[in-house]
A and B are shown apart, each in its own frame.
Chain A
Amino acid sequence: MVEYTGQARDTGLRIKTELASRPTPSAMATPAILLRDVNLFYGANQALYDISMDIGERMVTAFIGPSGCGKSTLLRCLNRMNDLIDNVKITGKVEVNTLDIYGPKTDVIEVRRKVGMVFQKSNPFPKSIYENVVYGLRIAGINDKATLDEVCERSLRGAALWDEVKDRLDQSGLSLSGGQMQRLCIARAIANEPDIILMDEPCSALDPIATVKIEELIYALKEKYTIVIVTHNLQQAARVSDMTAFFWLGRLVEYGQTSDLFTKPKEKHTEDYITGRFG
C-alpha cells in the first residue's frame, strides 16, 4: 500500500503529460471541466489525492473503479454536493467552463443549475410528472404556463419519455416504473438546460432493458451535453463512454480514451481491475 503511494503520484504526473501530448478530440482544447490537484478530506480522512484531469466537452466520460475508490466523491465535487456534508475540506481547483466553482464569489446555486445531476437511486419528488419536470423552473421563479408546458414537453422528449407519459402528466412521478423514473430524473435535469450532466451509477437499480434505454439516451444526449458517468458496470463504461478514468484508493490511476484503456491499459492495476482480478 505504502509502496503504491509513490507510484500513483508518478502515474498522475505521467497521465497529465500524456494527455497534453496525445492527439485528443478537438474539444479537449477547451475542456468543459478542469481539475487541478484536487484533494478532499472527510475530517481527518483523505478521500481524494491530487486529482488533476480535463474532461472534454460534449463527450461521455466514465469514472470506474472499485467501491470506495472516490469516484462518486469526485463526481459530487463537480456540482458542490459535497458542501452538504459536515467537515468536508477541498483543496485544489475545479473549473467548469472556465468558472472556478469553489471561488469565493461563486454562487453555488448557479453552479448546480449549470451542472445537473442524476442519482443512483431515482428520486422523483412526490409530485406529478409535470411538476417534477418543471421543478427547476418553478424554483427559479418561472410560472408562465406556456413556458412551463413547452419546457416540459421538450425535456420529456429529450429524455425519451414523452410518448410514454404524455397522456398522464398529472399522475404522480412515483407511479412510473424504475426505468421511467430514472428517465424522468434525467428530464428534470435537462429542463434546467445545464452544460454538464453528472450521473452517479444511473442504471445500477434497473433491469437490462431499462438499462439499454438509458444508455441509448446517454448516447443521444452527448450531442448537446457533456456527460460524466460513474459506473460499476465495465461493459457499460465501454459501451457508452468516449473517455474513461480509473480510480483506486482515492487516486486517479489511469485516464484515457475508452478504447485504449480497455484494450491496452498502461497500468498493471487497471489491467487487473478490468480483467476482473480484483474489485
Chain B
Amino acid sequence: MRLGTLVRRGDPFVWLAGSGLGISLLMILGLLGVILVNGLGFFWPKPLLQLTLKDGVVLLGEPVTREVIPTPGVVDAPEQFRLQLKLGNRDLFGADFRWVDEAEITGRERPRDAFYFERREYGPLIGTPVRLTRGGDALATGPDAVWAALAPLIEQAEVDRAAIRTIERDEIGAINFAIERARLDMRAIDLRERQRPEQRLDAERAALDQEVVRQKALYDERQRALEALYERAAQTYLTVRASDGQEKEIRTLDIFRAYPANQLSWAEKAGVYASRIWEFVSGDPRESNTEGGIFPAIFGTVMMVVLMSLVAVPFGVLAALYLREYAKQGTLVRLVRIAVNNLAGVPSIVFGVFGLGFFVYFVGGTIDRAFFPESLPTPTYGTGGILWASLTLALLTVPVVIVASEEALAAVPRSMREASLAMGATKFQTILRVVLPAAAPGIMTGLILAMARGAGEVAPLMITGVVKLAADLPLDGIFPFFHLDRKFMHLGFHIYDVGFQSPNVEAAKPMVYSTTILLLGIVVALNITAIVIRNRLRRKYQTGAF
C-alpha cells in the first residue's frame, strides 16, 4: 500500500532520474580526475631514490609506481611488492625503466648530490656531476662547484640553441626554399621549351642560374656562421657519473634543464614545474615526441579548426538559408533535410576516405597537373595537407551547422519579418538586416557544436594530412606565409601516436595524459570563445518583447 503510494507519486522515478545524473557526473569527473592527476603530476620534479640491491648493484632513479607482484596459481601467498624506477641514462644502460622486487632491496637513500639532467637525446641523464671542462681545462670539480658554474651555462645554451635554430630553420630554410624554387622554375622552363621548341629562353635560364649562385653564396655564408656558432657554443663539457660508476661526458649545449632533485625547496620545485609546463606548451617535440613540447600540434589543431570553421559556417548558413527561406517546402526539401541529418551521423572515417579520394587525389592531383607540373612526380597539393584535412572536416561538420542554422532561422518571429517587409524591404534585405542578425546566436551554437566535433576528430585526418612530426608549421615567415599544402601535427593524432606508436611507451605514457589535457583545454577554450560571442550577440539581438 505504501509502496503503491510511492510509485504513484513518482518518487522512485525521481530517484532513478537523480541517480542517472549522478552517474553521468561521476563518470565525467572520474575521467577529468584521472587525466588531470596523471597529466599534471608528470611535470612535478620527484626526488631521486638510490637503491642498493642484495647483489651489490646500485640503482638511482625516480620512483614511478609500486605494485603487487602477481603470483598466479599460488594460494595464500604473502603479498610481495615491486617498485618501478625511472633510471634514465638510456645511452649507458640500454633501457630507462626497471622493475625492482622490494625483497631484493637492502638499502634506500636519497643522495644529496643526485642530479636530473634533461638533454637533447637519449632521454634524461641521472647521476652526480663530476666536473665541468672547457677545451680540456677543468672549470669546476665536485657537485656543488659544478652546479654553481653550470646554471649560467644552461641559460647560455638556451640562447645559443635559439640562435642556431634561427640560422638553421629560418635563414637556411629560406635559402633552401629559394633554391628549390629556382630548380622548379628551371624545370618549368625546360617543359615550356619542350612544348614550343622554337622559343629561346636562355636569358631566363641565365637569370635563374645567377639566382642559384647568389643563394648558394648566401648559403655558404650562413653555413660558416653556423659552424662558428657551434664552435663557440660547444666548448664546455659536463662529466656525470652514473649510479654504476660509469662516466658520461656531454656538451652543455645539449642540456635543457638540470636540477639537484633532492635539494629542491618547494618553491624551486614549483619553478621547475612551471618551466616544464611552459616548455610543453611552447616547445618543439624531441625524442620522437616523448619529450619536449607539443606546440606544433597545438598550432596545427587550432589552425585546422579555424580553417574548417571558415569553410563550414558560410556554406552551412547559405544552405540553411536556401532550405528555410527560399525553397518551396515540399517533399524534395524534406528529403534533403533527412539526407542532411543522416550525413551528420556518417562515421568520420568515411569522410576521410572521401577526402582522400576526392580532395587529395582528384582536386589536388588536378591542381598539380595544372599549376605545378614542374615538381611532378613529387606532389604539391596531390598529397595530404592542412587544406584538404580542413575541407574534409568542414564536410563532416557542415550538416551540424545546417541543422542548427535552420532551427535558428525558423525561430526568428514572423512578426519581425513582416515588419521589415511592410517597410518596403525586399526579401533579401529582410534576411540580411533582420533575420540573419536575429538568428546569429543560434548559428553560433551550430558553430560551437561543429568546432567541438571537428577538434576531436582524428580518423579522417590520418589519411588526409596529419603526420607524426611536421618539420614546418603551416604558417611561417616565408612567402606566401600560409602553406596550406603542408602536412601538420594534430593533438588528437599526437595522443594516438605517442600512446601507441612510440618506440618508448613507458616514457611516453605521461605525455598521453598531458596531451589529452591540452586537447580538452583547447576544445573548451574554443567553445568558451564561441559561447561568449554568442551571448554577446544574444544580448544585442534579443527578440520577443512580450
Contact = CB atoms under 8 A, between A and B. Distances in A.
Interface string A250-262: 0000000000000
Given A138-B433, A139-B429, A126 B422 contact: no
Contacts of B543: 126, 174
Contact of B415 (A123, A138, A192): A123
Given A125-B416, A126-B542, A192 B423 contact: yes
A140 to B, nearest CB: 7
A126 B541 contact: yes
B434 interface: yes
A79 interface: yes
A247 interface: no
Nearest to A110: B424
A84 B416 contact: no
Given A123-B413, A125-B416, A126-B438, A139 B424 contact: yes
A96 to B, nearest CB: 14
Contacts of A124: 419, 545
Contacts of A127: 437
Interface stretch (A45-53, A56-64, A113-121, A142-150): A113-121
A240 interface: no
Interface in A247-278: none
Contacts of B413: 123
B545 A109 contact: no
A81 B434 CA distance: 17
Contacts of A79: 422
A139 B426 CA distance: 8
B211 interface: no
A109 B543 CA distance: 25
B423 A188 contact: yes
A126 B540 contact: yes
B418 interface: yes
B424 A122 contact: no
Contacts of A192: 423-424
Interface in B411-444: 413, 415-416, 418-426, 429, 433-434, 437-438
Contacts of A119: 415, 418-419, 422
A121 B415 contact: yes
Contacts, number: 77
A130 interface: no
Interface residues of B, number: 23
Contacts of B433: 125, 135, 138-139
Q: Is chain B's interface secondary structure helix, strand, loop, or mixed overall?
A: helix
A125 B434 contact: yes
Interface in A178-207: 178, 181, 185, 188-189, 192, 205
B426 A174 contact: no
A84 B418 contact: yes
A117 B415 CA distance: 12
A127 B438 CA distance: 10
Interface string B387-428: 000000000000000000000000001011011111111100
Interface residues of A, number: 31
B15 interface: no
A112 interface: yes
A205 B416 contact: no
Given A126-B437, A138-B433, A112 B421 contact: yes
Given A136-B424, A174-B545, A185 B429 contact: no
Nearest to B329: A86
Most buried by B among A110, A117, A185: A117
Contacts of B423: 112-113, 116, 135-136, 139, 188-189, 192
Nearest to A111: B424
A205 B546 contact: yes
Interface string B531-546: 0000000001111011
B545 A122 contact: yes
Interface of B: 413, 415-416, 418-426, 429, 433-434, 437-438, 540-543, 545-546
Interface of A: 79, 81, 84, 109-110, 112-113, 116-117, 119, 121-127, 135-136, 138-140, 172, 174, 178, 181, 185, 188-189, 192, 205
Given A119-B419, A123-B416, 6 more contacts: A113-B423, A119-B422, A125-B434, A126-B437, A178-B546, A189-B423
